[in-house]
Amino acid sequence: MTRRSVTIVGASLAGIRAAEALRRQDFDGSITLIGDELHAPYDRPPLSKQFLAGDWGEDRLALTQPDKLDDLDLELRLGVRATSFDLASRRLGIVDLDDQGCSGRGGRGGEEFVVDGLLIATGARCRTLRGSEGLDGVFVLRSLDDSLAIRAAFDAGPTRVVVVGAGFIGAEVAATARTQGLEVTMIESLPQPLSRVLGDEMGAVCAELHREHGVDLRTGVGVEAIEGEDRVERVRLSDGSVIEADVVVVGIGVVPNTEWLEGSGLRIDNGVVCDATCLAAPGVTAAGDVARWPNQRFGEVMRVEHWDNAVSQGAHAAGRLLVGDDEAEPFVPVPWFWSDQYDRKIQMAGRIGPDDEMHVATGSLAERRFAAIYGRAGRLVGVLGFNRPRHVMRYRMLIESGTSFSDAVAAEF
């Protein structure tokens, strides 16, 4: 397979790691990396943790250093958005956001060119709460600018921060706000935080963690309305209660950025649909939060919104563009992610379902220092750890090697 050039759309984690992998695999054709943000590629996890807390500056977010970026020898086009793609003609439409509105080429500063290899890494964006979009003081958290805006709102000394959604991002924002001494109410419509992923018992462990740190956590209740004149003033809940708030952070999940691919000829269904090797169409791959593919290890079609997956899939999808169909390998990771809340390092690997068999392998739930392992159909399928990084790593390796649940229960580290 000789490929002349690769165009990567989305200049963030999956995109930059893909470019690096291409060069590591000795690809010497041209690489174009297109991204609609103006910042140089940056890392998102600190945006709800160290950066939001003000402990890290912007320099700590860089996904790559200037000299390494130079070594990659790529055409980096920041502030440029892909607006269309046509599989049959392989034409990619882009618009320079600076020129938008001008009557340049293509009417609105638009441009089209034919691509050879295409790697889609446009990630995801936050869901918003309908009706709250125009109000000052209401935020979502995905980008560096979002984090800066929330940081400024925290620094202004709000009387109460309301976090809508107790998923991982919401929980981290609540933890960071509490650590700064702010009053926090967190609202979750599920009976326990994360109960859909972790089950009620572990959800309750997460709930306790927040309550012990002084978060006013309300579960099993939804948001009716976010109200205020120009600024948010209060949040009205489905149980009739009203919470006065001057800052609201909404963390209710993300949607993949695939609108620009409508009508492209690619299959879009809650992400860019790929085969087991990350191939969406001949010469087109996808990676990171935007990609959906059948993970043969788990016999499950997945779209994974974790840092580790963007790194590994970015590299895999890049390599896939350089080999023929007969050499292509399936992408079969054991998904893994971490979340830092207060002084807890929460980590999960594999696939955990509410109906799985669970065994606390070490530590205790009461102390919130433990590793719990999960079994399904006799196999080890997942591990959840609170401040047990070594155990999570070891059990993840056991998942990878296809260990039975009983062997995992008997294993000692």
Partner 1 sequence: MRINLDSDACQGHNRCYMLAPELFDTDDEGYAILRIDGEIPKDLEEKAMLAVDNCPEFAIEVADD
Ligand X SMILES: Cc1cc2nc3c(=O)[nH]c(=O)nc-3n(C[C@H](O)[C@H](O)[C@H](O)COP(=O)(O)OP(=O)(O)OC[C@H]3O[C@@H](n4cnc5c(N)ncnc54)[C@H](O)[C@@H]3O)c2cc1C
**Residues at the site binding partner 1, with contacts judged by CB under 8 A:** 17, 20, 24, 43, 46, 60, 64, 68, 308, 311-312, 315, 336, 338, 345, 347, 388-390, 393, 396-397
- What is the rounded distance in angstroms from the CA atom of residue 315 to the CA atom of residue 170? 29
34 binds, among ligand X, partner 1, none (CB under 5 to 8 A by kind): ligand X
Binding partner of residue 20 among partner 1, ligand X, none, CB cut-off 5 to 8 Å per kind: partner 1
Residue with Cβ nearer ligand X (52 or 358): 52
Task: Return the axis-axis angle of helices 195-212 and 168-179, rounded to nearest 10°.
Answer: 10
Q: Where are the alpha helices (DSSP H) in 160-287?
A: 168-179, 195-212
CA proximity to 63, closest of 82, 81, 79, 39? 39
Longest dimension (CA), the chain: 69
* Residue 10 binds to ligand X (criterion: CB under 6 A): yes
Site for ligand X in 42-71 (CB under 6 A): 44-45, 47-48
Q: Which of 9, 161, 223, 235 binds ligand X (CB under 6 A)?
A: 9
| Nearest CB to ligand X, comparing residues 122 and 403 | 122
Stretch that binds ligand X, among 54-62, 240-248, 336-344, 404-412 (CB under 6 A): 336-344
Binding residues for ligand X restricted to 101-130, rule: CB under 6 A: 121-124
81 forms part of the interface with ligand X (CB under 6 A): yes
Of 158, 242, 176, nearest to 215 (Cα)? 176
**Nearest-approach distance from CB 73 to partner 1, in angstroms:** 16
Q: Which of 14, 119, 174, 206 binds ligand X (CB under 6 A)?
A: 14
Beta strands (DSSP E) in 175-312 are 184-188, 216-219, 223-227, 234-237, 242-244, 247-250, 254-256, 272-273, 279-281, 284-286, 291-295, 300-302
How many chain residues touch ligand X (CB under 6 A)? 37
Provide the 3-class DSSP secondary structure of residue 3.
Answer: coil
Tell me which of partner 1, ligand X, none is bound by residue 251, counting a contact when its beta carbon lies within the kind-specific cut-off of 5 to 8 angstroms: none
Find the binder of ligand X among 169, 205, 372, 398 (CB under 6 A).
Answer: 169
Please list, in sequence order, all residues whose beta carbon lies within 8 angstroms of the beta carbon of residue 163, skipping any fewer than 6 positions away.
Answer: 170, 173, 174, 177, 184, 185, 186, 187, 248, 249, 251
Q: Which of these segments, 67-75, 103-111, 233-241, 337-345, binds ligand X (CB under 6 A)?
A: 337-345
The helix, strand and coil proportions of the chain, stated in percent and rounded to the nearest 5, come to: 25, 30, 40
Decide which of ligand X, partner 1, none touches 288; Cβ closer than 5 to 8 Å per partner kind. Answer: ligand X
251 binds ligand X, rule: CB under 6 A: no
What is the Cα 294 distance to its own chain's centre?
Answer: 18
* Alpha carbon distances (Å) from 405 to 191, 207, 374, 385: 28, 28, 8, 17
Binding residues vs ligand X (CB under 6 A): 9-15, 34-37, 44-45, 47-48, 81-82, 121-124, 141-142, 169, 257, 260, 288-290, 305-308, 310, 337-339
